[in-house]
Structure 1
Amino acid sequence: MDLQQMRYVIAVAETASFTRAAERCHVVQSALSHQVARLEKELGARLFERSSRRVRTTTAGEAFLPAARQALEAAERARAEVAAATGEIRGKLTVGSIPTVAAVDLPAVLRDYRLRHPRVRISLRAGSSEQLVERVREGRLDAAFLGVQPGFRPQGVHDRELAQGQHVAVLAPDHPLATRHEVDLSLLAEEAFVDFADGSAARAQSDLAFAAAGLRREVAFEVSGVELMARMVRHGLGIALLPAAFAAELHGLRTVPIINGPVRVEHLVWSRFPLSPAASAFLALLDVDPQPLADL
């Protein structure tokens, strides 16, 4: 068994095709198929069920994949550690972020990081705060930027609060409230809203503010992305509440401050697993101690 065989198996499992797996691995299909067959013979079990229509992972294959991924990650980590010992940062950095991050200029941070460490492969993943915390906790992300309600404390990860900010009302230009200098929650409660999914951290910030004021509101549309939310607001389907620092970047919409409105807290979280040199360098760029005193 060797690392290349593991790469081939993972590629087949992820593409559900020997042809696409060979293209991904830049080898001819016959060579890839031969190596997978050799590995199956060594293991004494079929890793894939093959038919003319599809390729499906067997129970044995599903059991093999997590360990194979860990082995490849360990090998890459070993290469990165050796390079770091000689003064070069290389390997892989995987960062997650909510779409509305405003506490840092993330593109600028990643640009500076790439200039300093050009041998590192950077991946950026978007998601909700809940999803990002889980992925960091599981080791699938090195670090992530969250937006949560006050008092929220991510579990199973290191975290640092970056900033707090107020929400504003986001309105179509012709909305009757668009010309106001500020609005009260009681006035907004009469409007239809476009918001994130019920139960999400992004939604909770607004729900808590209305609940604290003893108000109820109607969320007419639930969406998963800010771009769709902005388009629906432009078409007059409802109004939205978004962090002021982020909403200022939306074109073709009006923003109005809210009296006693929702508050969002942005956090940076990172893995409790031993950090790779690439991840340590990323935290250093953000001036973050990878192991806060509170966690020692």
Structure 2
Amino acid sequence: MDLQQMRYVVAVAETRNFTRAAERCFVVQSSLSHRIAGLERELGVKLFARSSRRVELTPAGAAFVAGARECLAAADRAAADAADATGVVRGRLAVGVIVTTAAVDVPELLQRYRARHPDVRVALRSGRSDELAAAVRGGDLDIAFLGVPESAPPLGVEAVALDHDEHVLVVAAGHRLAGAPRVTLREIAEETFVDFVSGTPARAQSDQAFAAAGLVRDVAYEAGVVELITRLIARGLGIALLPSAFIRPRAAEDPGLALVPVVDGPRRTEYLVWNRFNPSPATRAMLGVLGVLGAGAPSTAS
């Protein structure tokens, strides 16, 4: 058994297709299939159930893949640590980001990072703050940029607050409140709302604000992306509360939207988080690019 065989098995498990797995591993399919078949003979078990149309992990295969991922991660970390000892940063950096991040220009950050550390392979993944924080705690992500209510900082990770922001009311340009100097939650509670999906941290920020004010609102439209939310608003189908720093540049370019300050609206904090346990050289290098002192820097979350 060798690491290459493990990589082949993991690739097939993730793609559920021998042809796509071979393409990912930059090898011909016959060679990949031959190496996996040899590994199955060595182990005395079948790792995959195959048919002409489907490839599925067997129970033995699922158990093997879990261990193989750990071995491959350890091997990659060993190679990265060896390179780091010579002053060269290598390996992989997995970055998570929420779609409404505004405290950091993530594409510009990744460009600077690549210029300094071209031997690091960066993987980027977007998602919900709670999912990304869990992925950092579990080791699936190295760092993540989150946005959460001020009352709910991320737990179980090293965290640095990047920015504090308040939500603004977003309405269609022809809405009765467009141009108002400011509003309160009570003044807008009877409106129809567009918001993120219920149960997400992005939605919780507004839900908590209305609950704290003793108000109930009608969320008629739920969406997972801001672009759909703003399109629904521009059509006059509802209003929304969105982070100020994120939405202001976009509203400035969209004549169909108007922003109104909210006196008692939600507030959120954007965080940079990373795993507190032995950050990789690639992670430490990113913390350096961001100006964070390093893995030993004081944490704002526990």
Indicate whether the TM-score tops 0.5: yes
Find the residue that maps to 2:178 and give its secondary structure. Answer: coil
Q: What residue in structure 2 maps to residue 163 of structure 1?
A: 163
Q: Are positions 1:117 and 2:117 aligned together?
A: yes
Partner residue of 2:187? 187
Question: Structure 1: 5+ residue runs without aligned partners?
Answer: none
Q: What RMSD in Å do the two structures reach over aligned CA positions?
A: 1.5
Q: Contact between 1:194 and 1:220, CA under 8 Å: does it hold in 2?
A: yes
CA contact (8 A) 1:80 1:91 kept: yes
SS in 2 for 1:53: coil
Report if the CA contact (8 A) 1:143-1:268 is conserved: yes
1:230 maps to 2:230? yes
Whichever residue aligns with residue 282 of structure 1, its letter is M
TM-score if structure 1 supplies the norm length?
A: 0.96
Amino acid at match of 2:258: R
How far, CA to CA, are the matches of 1:145 and 1:154 in structure 2?
A: 11
CA shift for structure 1 position 199: 2.2
Distance 1:27 1:96 in 2: 29
Instruction: State the 1:151 CA deviation.
Output: 2.0
Identity %: 56
* 1:285 correspondence with 2:295: no
What does the per-residue CA deviation read over 1:155-200, in whole Å, with 9 as the maximum and x for residues that have no partner? 2211122221110011111111112121121111121111112222
1:83 alignment partner, SS class = helix
1:52 CA drift (Å): 1.5
1:274 aligns with 2:278: yes
Cα deviation per residue 1:72-120 (whole Å; 9 max; x = unaligned)? 1111111111111111111111111111111222222212111111111
| Cα separation, 1, equivalents of 2:276 and 2:45 | 35
CA distance in 1, matches of 2:98, 2:29: 39
Counterpart for residue 107 of structure 2: 107
Q: CA deviation at 1:153?
A: 2.8
Partner of 1:93: 93
Cα distance in 2 between the residues matched to 1:15 and 1:7: 12
Contact preservation (8 Å) 1:139, 1:273 = no
Equivalent AA in structure 1 for residue 288 of structure 2: A
TM-score computed with the length of structure 2 as normaliser = 0.94
- Give the drift of 1:34: 0.8
The answer (yes or no) to whether the contact 1:161–1:268 under 8 Å persists in 2 is yes
Compute the displacement of 1:293 (Å): 4.2
What CA deviation, in whole Å up to 9, does each residue of 1:42-62 have, x standing for no partner? 111000011112111100000
Within-5 A mapping of 1:5-16: 5-16=5-16
What residue ranges of structure 2 are gaps of 5+ in the alignment? none
Contact 1:76 1:91 in 2 (8 A): yes
